[in-house]
Chains A and B, each alone.
Chain A
Amino acid sequence: MKVTYPHMGYLNMPVSKMLNNLGVEVIEAPPISKKTIELGSLYSPEGVCLPYKINMGNFIESIDQGADTLVSVCGAGKCRLGFYNAVQKIYLAEKGQIQFYMLDTNHLFSDLYRFLRTVAPRASRLVILKNMAMGIKLLKALDAMNEAKNFYGARTNSPEQIIDICRGGTQELANSTYKKINFIRDFTISSIGAICNNNQCRPPRIALIGEFYLLLEPYVNHSIEDLLIKQGIEVKKFVYTGNWVYSNTLLQALGLYSEEKAYLDQAKPYLNYHVGGDGLKSVGSALQCARDGYDGIIHIYPFGCMPEVVAQSALKNIANDYNLPLLTLSIDEHSSDVGIITRIEAFADCIKRKKYQH
Chain B
Amino acid sequence: MHVYLGIDVGSVSTNIAVLDEFGKVIDSLYIRTQGRPIEAVQNGLRQIKERNPEIKVKGVGTTGSGRHLTGVIVGADSIKNEITAHAVAAMHIMPDVKTVLEIGGQDSKMIIIRNGVVTDFAMNTVCAAGTGSFLDQQAARLNIGIEDFGDKALESTTPVRIAGRCAVFAESDMIHKQQTGHVTSDIINGLCQALVRNYLNNIGKGKQIQSPILFQGGVAANKGIKRAFEEALGCPVVVSPYHNVMGAIGSALLAKEEVTQTKPTVFRGFDVIDFVYTPRSFECSGCANMCEVVEIKMNGNVAARWGDQCGKWSNSVTVA
Contact = CB atoms under 8 A, between A and B. Distances in A.
B121 A33 contact: no
Report the contact-size class of chain B (Cβ under 8 Å from the partner): 20 to 34
Given A223-B309, A303-B126, A357-B117, A342 B81 contact: yes
Contacts of B125: 328, 330, 339
Main SS class of interface, A: helix
Contacts of B65: 338, 342
B69 to A, nearest CB: 11
Interface string B89-130: 000000000000000000000000000111111010110000
A176 B119 CA distance: 46
A346 B83 contact: yes
Contacts of A357: 116-117
Contacts of B309: 223
A30 B81 contact: no
Interface in B289-320: 289-290, 309
Which 10 pairs from chain A and chain B are nearest by CB? A346-B83, A316-B206, A31-B288, A350-B118, A349-B84, A33-B288, A346-B81, A345-B81, A354-B117, A342-B81
A354 B84 contact: no
B290 A34 contact: yes
Contacts of A319: 120, 206
Interface residues of A, number: 30
B77 interface: no
B289 A330 contact: no
A223 B311 CA distance: 14
24 contacts: A31-B287, A31-B289, A33-B290, A34-B290, A35-B290, A316-B205, A319-B206, A320-B208, A325-B119, A325-B121, A328-B125, A338-B65, A339-B125, A342-B83, A345-B84, A346-B81, A346-B82, A346-B83, A349-B81, A349-B118, A350-B84, A350-B119, A350-B120, A354-B118
Interface of A: 30-35, 219, 223, 303, 316, 319-320, 323, 325-326, 328, 330, 338-339, 342-343, 345-347, 349-350, 353-354, 357-358
A349 B80 contact: yes
B81 A354 contact: no
Nearest to B125: A330
A303 B290 CA distance: 24
A345 B83 CA distance: 9
A353 B118 contact: yes
